[in-house]
Amino acid sequence: MYTVGVVGGLALIALAVHELNFERRSGGFKAAGLPQFVVGLAAAIGGIAVLHLTDNTSGNWLGAAVIAVGTIGALHGFAAWRFEPNRDRGTLQFTPEVTKFVGLGIACLVGFVVAAKAWDANDTSGFFFPWTKQGFRATLLLVFGIAGFTLLAVGVTKAKRVSNLTRVVVTVLVGALIAAMAFFIRSEATSVKFRAEAFSVLLAVALLVVSWAILGLLFAERSRPNAEAEHLGGRLITAGLVMAAVGFAVKLMFTVQAEIDAGIPPAKFSMRIVWFIGFTAVLTWTLARTRFGSWTFAVGGNKEAARYVGVPAGRTKTQLFMLVSGAAWLVGMLLAFRLNTIQAATGDGLEFQYIIAAVVGGTLLTGGYGSAFGGAIGAIIVSMATLGIPASRWNSDWRFLFLGVILLLAVIANRSIRSRAEGLRR
């Protein structure tokens, strides 16, 4: 269930991305590409089955090769079926600007490898505040990795301005570097579970990057809007996210015997996750699709103007206060259930974190702008900081500094974005 849900969801999202970015055939679809798509898809599924059912080097290499060939064949068949061929490939030309960003990206990845080899991953002795040697190594690898692939992405963008062929070559290089990093991380990681999953994810990303480069050379990217393609792409992305969510839910809810025998602790599932996802989905839909959602934005932006155009401002504000009170009751009950006891001080001080989560998620304290989905993302960011900083053995008081800094940055960013949006509107 986990494999089918996650792989199937990612496949649908990949098809949606191609549908949204390539130019549809003007004279109707070419059915000759459809059999290739079906055969390639079947081959990729067969390769996944080989990996799933075997546990030896030859089976792993065979399964990976079949998956790679099948994926590229399926995507090429899908593109040949639906998209216009590319007649403007250009010439290969590495300008100084492209060479600079690609070279800097490769240098950062080399720094990643050197830092990983030079530092002991198991050395937990102090280094300098606030890092241990192990923590500093992890931070250094994170900085080098993000910087390297960010610079390579900029190099791809610069190459696209030169010619389509140059962009394809640089993109293939990026895919090859991702695959190389996958093998390096696999050789360095001490955790069997992390080593296997990180290796698989990075190889899958490398395969998709190379496939995208090949299709970008052979087929034309979209240059004008297409409502039908955007509608289909949106549906595919929604279906893919649902499938992936189901797969991950199954992974969290069940533990297989092999994981128990390996001593891997089972993941802990909490009903609070279900409430979190349910409320986020319902309130996102309410704000975006209902009259009450429009009234909420109108009253928050300008109460008097909303009243003049017929919005029941007083009633809407009362309903919103009632909704917040009900949500506060639910959160309090979930906190009490988590602690299995009742304490008068439970939740004290958390209101500051709730405000930060909302603002980080794009909600303006002045009203009129925001979303429930953004607030959910903000809550995830805040929880990662409050749990991750103590888990990294830093002084736990640093989380307050982190929360204050991200609140300040979020307020500045929201104000800047709003000012630019209002300037464009005028």
Secondary structure (DSSP) of 149-168: HHHHHHHHHHHHHH-HHHHH
Q: How many residues does the chain have?
A: 426
C-beta separation of 307 from 313 below 8 A: yes
Instruction: Tell which wins on pLDDT, 52 or 79.
Output: 79
How distant is the alpha carbon of residue 130 from its chain centre? 29
What are 63-113's pLDDT values in tens digits?
A: 889 999 999 999 999 999 989 888 877 788 889 999 999 999 999 999 999
Residue appearing with tokens 């696999």:
186
Residue 325: how many CB atoms within 10 A of its CB? 10
Q: Is the pLDDT of residue 412 over 80?
A: yes
Say if CB 414 and CB 364 are below 8 A apart.
Answer: yes
| Across 377-395, average pLDDT | 80
Burial of 389 (0-12, 13-18, 19+ CB in 10 A): buried
* Stretch 30-51: mean pLDDT: 89
Convert the pLDDT of each residue in 162-198 to its tens digit: 888 899 999 999 999 999 998 988 888 776 666 677 7
Q: What is the dihedral of CA 112, 114, 118, 124, to 10 degrees?
A: 0
Q: Over the range 80-117, which residues count as b (16 or more CB within 10 Å of their CB) and which as e? A: bbbbbebeeeeeeeeeeebeebbebbbebbebbeebbe
- Of 217-231, 254-268, 354-368, 399-413, the range with the lowest mean pLDDT is 254-268
Whether pTM exceeds 0.85: no
Specify burial of residue 372 (Cβ count, 10 A radius: 0-12, 13-18, 19+).
buried
Q: Determine the pLDDT at residue 193.
A: 63
DSSP 393-404: TS-TTHHHHHHH
Q: What is the pLDDT of residues 243-268, one digit of tens each?
A: 988 888 787 777 767 767 777 666 66
For residues 350-377, give the mean pLDDT.
85
pLDDT given for residue 423 in this prediction: 67
* pLDDT of res. 4: 86
Q: Which whole number is the average pLDDT over 319-327?
A: 92
Average pLDDT over residues 320-345: 82
Whether the per-residue pLDDT at 425 is higher than 60: the answer is no
Inform me whether the pLDDT recorded for 42 exceeds 60: yes
The distance between the two most distant Cα atoms of the chain, rounded to a whole number of Å, is: 73
Q: 239-248 as b/e, with b when 16 or more CB fall inside 10 Å?
A: bbeebbebbe
Other C-beta atoms closer than 10 Å to the C-beta of 403 total 21
User: Which residues share a beta bridge with 126?
Assistant: 132
